[in-house]
């Protein structure tokens, strides 16, 4: 906390720092934040403003549109992928539940249109279990 406070106290001094220019005895020009010698003079440093021509601005706009379209495509693809995964997980759970409801040694039936029960044979039950296991192995591994 003390470090942050110290940084905040020094910040205004850094922003308002002056630059001085002077020439030494060998004729070499120097720049520093503190004047060195009697001939040091302050230098005004202006921020550089970059003007862009119309073609550059148009390229920037096209790039921004391209990247925004790409970002939207990726977001849409991620949403579709999540939707597919959710549907797949739901189908796999349904298959597992159906297989769990078919334990060995029980009799199963289907209700006919007239309300009567039609019981599965052992071969039909075995075939149904095999189909469920194959579907689980194919799509839920």
Q: How far apart are CA 39 and CA 19, in angstroms?
A: 13
- Non-local CB neighbours of 140 within 8 Å, separated by 6+ positions: 88, 91, 92, 95, 96
CA-only gyration radius of the chain, Å: 39
Residue 123 in this model has a pLDDT that exceeds 70: yes
In this prediction, residues 23-39 reach a mean pLDDT of 83
DSSP helix/strand/coil, 32:
strand
pLDDT for 23: 86
Q: pTM (2 decimals)?
A: 0.48
Residue 51 in this model has a pLDDT that exceeds 60: yes
């Amino acid at each position: 906390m003390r470090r942050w406070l110290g940084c905040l106290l020094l910040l205004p001094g850094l922003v308002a720092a002056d630059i001085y220019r002077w020439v030494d005895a060998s004729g070499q020009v120097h720049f520093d934040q503190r004047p060195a010698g009697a001939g040091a003079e302050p230098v005004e440093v202006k921020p550089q403003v970059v003007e862009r021509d119309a073609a550059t601005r148009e390229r920037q706009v096209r790039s921004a549109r391209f990247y925004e379209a790409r970002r939207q495509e990726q977001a849409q693809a991620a949403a579709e992928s999540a939707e597919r995964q959710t549907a797949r997980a739901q189908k796999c759970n349904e298959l597992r539940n159906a297989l769990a409801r078919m334990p060995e040694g029980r009799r199963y039936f289907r209700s006919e249109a007239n309300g009567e029960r039609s019981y599965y044979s052992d071969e039909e039950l075995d075939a149904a279990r095999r189909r469920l296991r194959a579907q689980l192995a194919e799509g839920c591994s």
